Structure 1
Amino acid sequence: MASADIGIDLGTSSILVYTKGKGIVLKEPSVVAYDKDADKVKAIGEEARQMIGRTPGNIMAIRPLRQGVISDYTITEKMLKHFIQKAMGRKAFRKPRISICVPSGVTEVERKAVEEATYQAGAREVYIIEEPIAAAIGAGIDITKPFGNMVVDIGGGTTDIAVISLGGVVVSSSIKVAGNDFDEAIIRHVRKAHNLFIGEQTAEAVKMKIGTVCKRPQAETMEVKGRNVITGLPKTVTVTSEEVREALQECTTKIVEAVHSVLEKTPPELAADIVDRGIVLTGGGSLLDGFEEVISQRTGINTMTAENPACVVAEGTGRYAEVMEELGK
């Protein structure tokens, strides 16, 4: 199997494209602005993301992937086509070979849909890769050896947890709780506690600036602008990091419990390896402050975040073919 020309991390919140020799060439939000009246796509990626919550009635900002799965097939295909062309440049004569990753819990039908959309978008060959394996390769773990490695990939729509050995997944779990759920939890909390409606982008800014899942000695604060639920007028309130931690508690607990349950199902030899080697966190969601501590406290296993965690899945997807060649698969 020759190595693929492109690796694509098809994420719920962003799409990353990796090309051999160049690394990550493209990182854009997986959002499409669609004009209902004219029945055509207005903008894709970053340009479309800026339109979320700011568009007139006839233009919709659509996220064609929900929880790591295609929810709008035609739009996903158009979006993939756009990003593939952008990554390959205009002068590409040959159709590329594409490795693309999917969450570990997807059904055969969902897997087929991703494959089909990638072919339609102009691929010559398509390799489908499970997200945790791509994350492990991208994080620099040698998955070809008979040792247990545990990866927790917290993305936008799903969190994938897997124990990997000899190039394959031994035990895994995929839960539909991830970055987007953190944003929604913040939106709900601000509405309940401060009578304030805020949008997705504001919630994301709060999460990135003062979001934490672990108690901190010093609480941070941030001013948040939105619309007053009662008067309907614009209003500014101050939100603290402790409030955000409480708002995210439910999501955090679900992720930590899923990690716990995967450890319970891990064969003893591999569990012993994980105690020695630790747990690796990847994905954009792992950038949220305090995840390492929370998982370490609950499992008693040293937990670290991969370098540049938001990009590791794309890198691993792009390098998957080479790694599998070493295994002789």
Structure 2
Amino acid sequence: MFARDIGIDLGTANVLIHLKGKGIVLNQPTVVAMDRKTGEVLEVGEDAQRMVGRTPETIEAIRPLKDGVIADFDVTEAMLKYFLQKANARSFLSRPRILICCPTNITQVEQQAIKQAAEKAGGKKVLLEEEPKVAAIGAGMDIYQPSGNMIVDIGGGTTDVAVLSMGEIVTAASIKVAGNRLDQEILQYIKKEYKLLIGERTAENIKINVGTVFPEARTEVIEIRGRDMITGLPRTVSVNSEEIEKALREPVKVIVHTAREVLERTPPELSADIIDRGVTLTGGGALLHGVDQLLFEELKVPVLIADSPMDCVVTGTGIILDNMDKRLTVK
């Protein structure tokens, strides 16, 4: 069996793998459980995710990527090896060509770290492409025409905003405010308001089930359990959508401000196209309740959520790999 081309969305929260000819073959959390004493990898992906906040002192569940870049090289390499094996992407006869996406503003050193990790995990040739560009292709946007296309890709570690035309990024910005930061804001709000300690998974659960970023757009309540900071005992409290909107207001303002700034730096002719075509939202953060309404209100242009926004980046890698011989621009 010969190795197939592989597209990887190496996200802070999730890793998705596209195998040429097969489509998306893997979608797993970017989490690795390790033995603190020996450094041995015990579990990866979903099995490791279940351990977050629930491990004894001897085991550590860690996220090897932070803000869209590699925080722990060795663990990232071990994780990629495991995922490529699980996806049946490696071959005894040949090594695959791998296309990986990265945020727009990462340094040469960070780019090199991603390339090296993928090569050590089994890649023959590793190509990098900017995330918003790949997400736009995966969302079905025709970015190769001489017209303006704007995308806001809200991931786990970074939010990438870009205006594209003729296959290239015209203006862009990348910020370290995204899904994980929103979870932390909820966690801190519950700690401050209720003197209750909760974990990351509970915070994410609140965000998904009752969270909103548009005032009065949602009126739901959820019961959550945590540890009382005063008594040290378990306690249950009720949290509503209005509270979460307040908790998320500041970080979401940063995302809106970044989108506005990118629009302000866009040439007038392309801005006119965006008024017609609108802004496309991709990434897991596109599913955050009210985010499309808020951006429409603030930017005064139509805002559309892509179909399957979490899959757009990895779908885009598949399209680029399929057209590699036609020479889509890949660094």
**Judging changes above 3 Å, is the alpha-carbon distance between structure 1 residues 131 and 300 closer, same or farther for their aligned structure 2 residues?**
same
Partner of 1:48: 48
1:12 and 1:156 in contact (8 A); partners too: yes
Distance 2:281 2:12 in 1: 18
**Judging changes above 3 Å, is the alpha-carbon distance between structure 1 residues 277 and 325 closer, same or farther for their aligned structure 2 residues?**
farther
Could you tell me how far 1:38 is from its partner in structure 2? Answer: 2.3
Partner of 1:184: 184
Distance 1:265 1:324 in 2: 31
SS at the partner of 1:314?
Answer: helix
Q: Is 2:281 the partner of 1:274?
A: no
Partner of 2:172: 172
Partner of 2:315: 315
Q: Is 2:38 the partner of 1:38?
A: yes
Partner of 1:264: 264
Distance 1:308 1:92 in 2: 34
SS at the partner of 1:310?
Answer: helix
SS at the partner of 2:147?
Answer: coil
2:187 and 2:199 in contact (8 A); partners too: yes
**Judging changes above 3 Å, is the alpha-carbon distance between structure 1 residues 26 and 171 closer, same or farther for their aligned structure 2 residues?**
same
Could you tell me how far 1:93 is from its partner in structure 2? Answer: 3.3
2:219 and 2:242 in contact (8 A); partners too: yes
Could you tell me how far 1:324 is from its partner in structure 2? Answer: 5.7
2:8 and 2:15 in contact (8 A); partners too: yes
SS at the partner of 1:57?
Answer: coil
Distance 1:30 1:269 in 2: 40
Give the number of equivalent residue pairs.
327
Q: Which runs of 5+ in 2 are unaligned?
A: none
**Judging changes above 3 Å, is the alpha-carbon distance between structure 1 residues 218 and 84 closer, same or farther for their aligned structure 2 residues?**
closer
TM-score when normalising by structure 2 = 0.96
Distance 1:11 1:19 in 2: 17
Q: Is 2:17 the partner of 1:17?
A: yes
2:6 and 2:96 in contact (8 A); partners too: yes
2:90 and 2:122 in contact (8 A); partners too: no
**Judging changes above 3 Å, is the alpha-carbon distance between structure 1 residues 80 and 243 closer, same or farther for their aligned structure 2 residues?**
same
1:102-181 alignment runs, 5 A limit = 102-181=102-181
Partner of 1:239: 239
Distance 2:17 2:218 in 1: 38
Could you tell me how far 1:21 is from its partner in structure 2? Answer: 2.5
- Provide Cα deviations, 1:9-59, integer angstroms capped at 9, x if missing partner: 000011000112222110000000010212210111010011111111111
TM-score when normalising by structure 1 = 0.96
Could you tell me how far 1:205 is from its partner in structure 2? Answer: 0.6
Q: Is 2:69 the partner of 1:63?
A: no
Distance 2:17 2:321 in 1: 15
**Judging changes above 3 Å, is the alpha-carbon distance between structure 1 residues 222 and 328 closer, same or farther for their aligned structure 2 residues?**
closer
Indicate the larger mover: 318-327 or 304-313: 318-327
1:221 and 1:241 in contact (8 A); partners too: yes
1:4 and 1:321 in contact (8 A); partners too: no
Q: Is 2:275 the partner of 1:285?
A: no
2:36 and 2:60 in contact (8 A); partners too: yes
1:167 and 1:324 in contact (8 A); partners too: no
Distance 2:38 2:112 in 1: 30
Distance 1:79 1:212 in 2: 33
**Judging changes above 3 Å, is the alpha-carbon distance between structure 1 residues 124 and 104 closer, same or farther for their aligned structure 2 residues?**
same
Distance 2:68 2:89 in 1: 27
SS at the partner of 2:214?
Answer: coil
